[in-house]
Amino acid sequence: MIAKRMSTIDVSGIRKVFDLAKNLKNPINLSIGQPDFDIPEEIKQTGIDSIKSGFNKYTQTQGIPELNEALKSHIIKNYSFTPQKTMITSGVSGGLLLLFMALIEEGDEVIIPDPYFVMYKHLVKFAGGTPVFIDTYPDFDIDPDKLKKAITKKTKMIILNSPGNPTGKILSEESVKEIAAIADKYGLLIVSDEIYKSFSYDMESPSIASYYPEKTVLLNGFSKNMGMPGWRIGYAAGPSNIIEEMIKLQQYTFVCAPSFAQVAVMKALDFSIEKHREEYKIKRDYIYSSLREAGYKVNKPDGAFYIFPECPYEEDEFIKNALNHSLLIIPGSIFSEKNTNFRISFSASMSTLEKGAEILKKIKNG
C-alpha cells in the first residue's frame, strides 16, 4: 500500500532523539537547531498588521512582486551578482524539495560533502538520485582531488552548505573559487545552501554564487537570522530556466509561501543581527574552550551555531550516557556516513550551555 519511494527515506534521527527524551524532566537541550531569540518586534508587528488588513489570501506562486524586487536588490548588494530570477519558497527545505524534484532524474548522481545537513541525502534519494559522498574529515574542508574523483558522467550537481550544519565550517574564498572552477569544467550545477550566512564569526562567508552565477542556485531564508523557523519563508535565486520549473512545481505543492510573512520579511532583508551574532560568538568560544579543556577532539566552528566534536567512545553508548544525564545532543551518524562524532547546538542560554558542558566533562571517560 505504501509507495516504494518512501522506503528511500527514514524518520529523522533528530526526531528519534526527541522521542527518547519525552520522559526526561527538565532536559538540558543542546540538540535543537533553531535560534533561542524571538522575531524582532518591528517585524512581528508588520506581520500582525498584514493579517489584520486582510492580506491572508494566496499570493502569486513565486511570491509577491515587491518582495522579489527587494530580494534581487539585496542579493546584488550582498552577493555581488545579479540573479536571473528569484522566487519565495516555504523555507530553504521547501526550496530544496522543489529544486531536486525539478532537476534530478532516476540515476543522477549528486555530490554531497560529508558531514551534511540530514535532509540532502534523503531528498536526493526521494527524487530518484544517488548521493555520492565526499569525506571531509577531520577539518571539514573539501579536497579538490576528492571532488574531481567523485565526478562521473552521471553527476548532475554538487551541494554546498557554508556555513555548514553540523560542523559550522565556512569554506574559504580560495576553496569556493576552486570548486567553481571544477564545476565549470564539468558543466555541473551548484546548489548553495547559505541559511547560516548571517552567523559568520571570524571571517566573511563567501558565496560561490558570486563566482559561478550562471549555474548556481542560491538558497537562503529567514528562519535562522530572524528567529522565525515557524513562519516558513525562504528564497531561491539563480538561472531563469531552473527557477521557472521550481515555480511551476510550487503551484502544485506548496502553492505559495505564507502571505503575511512575505510582507513582514520585507523589513527583515537589511535588519541587523549584529547583537545576536556577537552573543553567539561568545557562546561558540565558551563551548569550544570547554570541550577542549575536557579533552574532546574538536574543530572550532567558523559560523552557524553548531559544533561537531568527536565521540570519546562508541557513539550509541555516548549518546545514551548523555541522555541518562538528561543531556540532549545529536549523534553524528545522522549527518554522516560515519558514526564518530556528535552535534551540539549552542543556540541556547549560557546557563544551559554551562550545565551541558559540565555533563560532557563528567561523561568524557564513560
C-beta of residue 161 within 8 angstroms of C-beta of residue 304: no
- Residues sharing a CB contact under 8 Å with residue 286, sequence separation 6 or more, in sequence order: 346, 350, 353, 354, 357
Residue ranges of the chain with per-residue pLDDT less than 70: 11-22
CATH code of the region 4-39+273-362: 3.90.1150.10
Q: In the chain, list all ranges with CATH 3.40.640.10.
A: 42-264
What is the rounded distance in angstroms from the CA atom of residue 171 to the CA atom of residue 205?
A: 7
Q: In the chain, list all ranges with CATH 3.90.1150.10.
A: 4-39+273-362
How many helices and strands in the chain, by DSSP H and E? Answer: 12, 12
Question: Is there a cis peptide before residue 138, judged by omega within 30 degrees of 0?
Answer: yes
pLDDT at position 164: 98
pLDDT at position 133: 98
Single out the residue of 216, 210, 206 nearest to residue 238, CA to CA: 216
Tell me how far apart the terminal alpha carbons of the chain are, to the nearest angstrom. 45
pLDDT at position 4: 84
According to CATH, the topology of domain 42-264 is Aspartate Aminotransferase; domain 2 (3.40.640)
Q: Is the overall model pTM greater than 0.85, yes or no?
A: yes
* Per-residue cell: 177: 573559487
pLDDT at position 21: 65
